[in-house]
Chains A and B, each alone.
Chain A
Amino acid sequence: MIEIDGLTKRYGDKTAVDGLSFVVEPGVVTGFLGPNGAGKSTTMRMIAGLGRPTSGTVRVNGKHYPAAAAPMSELGILLDARSVHPGLSARSNLLALARTAGIGRRRVDEVIELAGLGAVAGTRAGGFSLGMGQRLGVAAALLGQPQTVVLDEPVNGLDPDGVRWIRLLLKSLAAEGRTVFVSSHLMSEMAQTATRLVVLGRGQLISEGSVEDFVDHATTAGVLVRTPDPARLGQVLAAPGVTVSNDGTDLLRVSGITAEQVGSAAWRAHLPVYELTPTHASLEEAFMHVTRDSVEYHAGATR
């Protein structure tokens, strides 16, 4: 479990993380979302004790992580930037980390196989592709069979096979009762993997809860209806809390009522309906909607 309370990190007069409070529960995969520069990596570094909070506290499995007796059994972390030595082989990189906790070669070989690095274990990590580097980083995070796993952009640079591997891995870690906290830019991937979400914007908490709640609350689910007389149907459906929009074609976009209610209303008004489709917002749309005002770097933004 990760408990973050009032966490703030300032660099000079720039506030990277601003009064953040949330809890990452064990047993489920929790996604960590936010636009670039929202403070995700800064938060993850503070979880691992690599950055000192300006104020606030981080607790990993109920403890102050830097004071943990056996750190590798508490927390395994993959940080976004490469954090391996290019002059060392994959095996030496892992062995050096393993030694600090008295972890033997057998476990090192186990995670090498687990990460699919068996064929390149003796190769210097400097020659690795981004994807292989990520696999090595994930292997390092799993070495100590930690209670809590924190992965910053683990699918970055992975091939479809690797993406699938991460998805199954995260789910199995969570099923084992571990705390799994993972950031990603790939919304579709997050929608498939995460059960809960923590959403950040400009260093502040925007949302915390289940993926479904996030999508439902962030955007209004709607109904798409095609009829020869959109204006008439619009009048029929008009009610408080119901919005109807029409772009001049025979399509109506209705929100605030269900497809069943739209169908019944049309039938009572003797209006033919050619098409009736409930539409669900995707996680990506929900994310865009929620973080619209807190995006630090807009594409094509003028200064």
Chain B
Amino acid sequence: MSAVTRPGLLPAQGAPAPAVPAPVAVAGPVTQVRVVRSEWTKLRALRSTWWCALTAIVLIVGLGAAITGSGAPYTISAGNSAAGGVTISLAGVLFAQLVLGVLGILLFSGEYATGMIRATLAVVPSRLPVLWAKLIVLAGLVLPVTLLAAVAEFFTATALESSRGGSAISLTDPGVLREVAGASLYLTVIAVIGLSLGALLRRTAAGLSVFAAVFLVVPLVAAYLPQSIKGFAPYLPSNAGGTIWGAGKLFGGHQLGPWTGFAVLCGYAVVLTGLAAWRLRRRDA
């Protein structure tokens, strides 16, 4: 026992020495892999996870099919590329991004709202592994689910078009594979941005407000601004990232190249995640 000054009113009494030696611990070291398993346990067991995933699938496949089926049959011509037809069939991504953004936000803000964050950070006091683990399980869920949905929607849409006499579109046509896979990549990064917002702002309401403003309100307002002051519009996260699945064609105007735009979106995600990591480390839980 180390000698410590005791400023209390009372003289310190010698505490009885522990009778039994320390038992062998059942708990091992914290590793990143273990924290990922822990976060997967939570994500998998929450009903909201599967509701969000299901809704995203329904929006991508169902809404896409409805939009494809409601317009005139799509015919490939000089102004209408095969990839352009795919973009229209993926329009459900615009709505699925809101659902998956919410899933990301809730993954972190939900722990602050319920108080579970204190239990989580008490067992992982180094904290950062929790953020990385949430990022990994979120991306690990969203990427395959949305890829599956985008591929399913591609085949649904092509089947619909061929039954209505539209042009046949193949995955090997220029830009088509990039758009189908890109829709999934785009949604995954959006979910990660949601997660970072949830970690950064800690409150679900604040996270939802910022997310809705950035991905819904600002792009809409920007679309109606006069040409002279809308120079920033292509750099908005949704406009920049949307180029990878051709979303720019839905709204017109100047667009970044697909991979440049996607890189800009990833840049936003990296910066936000960095800020979230900094705040998680520095601030009291």
Which residue of chain A is the closest to B33 with respect to CB atoms?
Answer: A102
30 A-B residue contacts at CB 8 Å? A1-B1, A21-B4, A27-B16, A27-B18, A28-B15, A50-B284, A52-B282, A67-B126, A68-B125, A69-B29, A69-B30, A71-B125, A72-B27, A83-B115, A85-B46, A85-B111, A92-B42, A96-B42, A99-B38, A100-B124, A101-B30, A102-B31, A140-B119, A144-B25, A177-B18, A177-B19, A177-B20, A178-B18, A209-B8, A213-B10
Asked if A70 contacts B45 (CB within 8 A), the reply is no
Give chain B nearest CB distance to A105 CB in angstroms.
Answer: 11
Interface residues of A (CB under 8 A from B): 1, 3, 5, 21-23, 25-28, 45, 48-52, 65-73, 75, 77, 79, 81-89, 92-93, 95-103, 107, 140, 143-147, 175-178, 195-196, 199, 205-210, 213-214, 217
Which of these, A5, A101, A147, A196, contacts B123 with CB under 8 Å?
A: A101
Asked if A145 contacts B27 (CB within 8 A), the reply is yes
Asked if B118 contacts A50 (CB within 8 A), the reply is yes
Give chain B nearest CB distance to A101 CB in angstroms.
Answer: 4
Asked if A146 contacts B125 (CB within 8 A), the reply is no
Task: Say whether, besides A65-B125, A92-B41, A101 and B20 are in contact (CB < 8 Å).
Answer: no
Interface residues of B (CB under 8 A from A): 1-2, 4-13, 15-23, 25-31, 34-35, 37-39, 41-42, 45-48, 110-111, 114-127, 282, 284-285
**What chain A residues lie within 8 Å of B28 (beta carbons)?**
70, 73, 101-103
**What chain A residues lie within 8 Å of B30 (beta carbons)?**
69-72, 100-101
Asked if A213 contacts B13 (CB within 8 A), the reply is yes
Bound complex: CA of A50 vs CA of B122, how far in Å?
A: 7
Bound complex: CA of A45 vs CA of B116, how far in Å?
A: 14
**What chain B residues lie within 8 Å of A25 (beta carbons)?**
1, 15
Question: Chain B interface secondary structure, helix, strand, loop or mixed?
Answer: loop
Task: Say whether, besides A70-B29, A92-B41, A22 and B8 are in contact (CB < 8 Å).
Answer: yes
Which of these, A50, A70, A96, A206, contacts B41 with CB under 8 Å?
A: A96
**What chain A residues lie within 8 Å of B20 (beta carbons)?**
175-177
**What chain A residues lie within 8 Å of B124 (beta carbons)?**
71, 100
Give chain A nearest CB distance to B72 CB in angstroms.
Answer: 46
Asked if A97 contacts B119 (CB within 8 A), the reply is yes
